[in-house]
Amino acid sequence: DVKAEELELVQYHYYALKSTLEALSYRGSFPSLVSCLQFEKRRFLSLIIANVFQPIMVYQGNEDCDFINFYRETAEAIKFQDSMYENEEIQRRIDTILPILDAKVFFEAH
């Protein structure tokens, strides 16, 4: 089962990192394995928040922000979807988070 293997891999890396930091006499705080696993489970939510909710919250465009325009593929809907990402701050945030999610292999098909 892929999920079981993923859990095993996360645990392996967690304990390897913890062991290495202890060997280096690391004195900073280190999260528990449970905290790390909970963080990994929330990674999908981080994608949704960064790429959908934030652009909506700061939207200042003139397009019709009807809910149906979030998922339709009409010219009007696509114009609205594109306009959500014209804000430079949103573009900066997305530029920041996408490489992080990519490094976590978020975009790989399972």
pLDDT at 87: 84
Q: Where are the alpha helices (DSSP H) in 24-87?
A: 33-41, 43-48, 54-57, 75-84
pLDDT at 3: 64
pLDDT at 107: 75
Asked if pLDDT for residue 110 goes beyond 60, the answer is no
pLDDT at 105: 75
Euclidean distance between the first and final Cα of the chain, in Å? 11
Residue with tokens 């701050």: 89
Q: Which pTM was predicted?
A: 0.51
pLDDT by residue (tens digit) across 8-64?
888 888 999 999 999 999 999 999 999 888 877 777 777 777 778 888 888 888 887
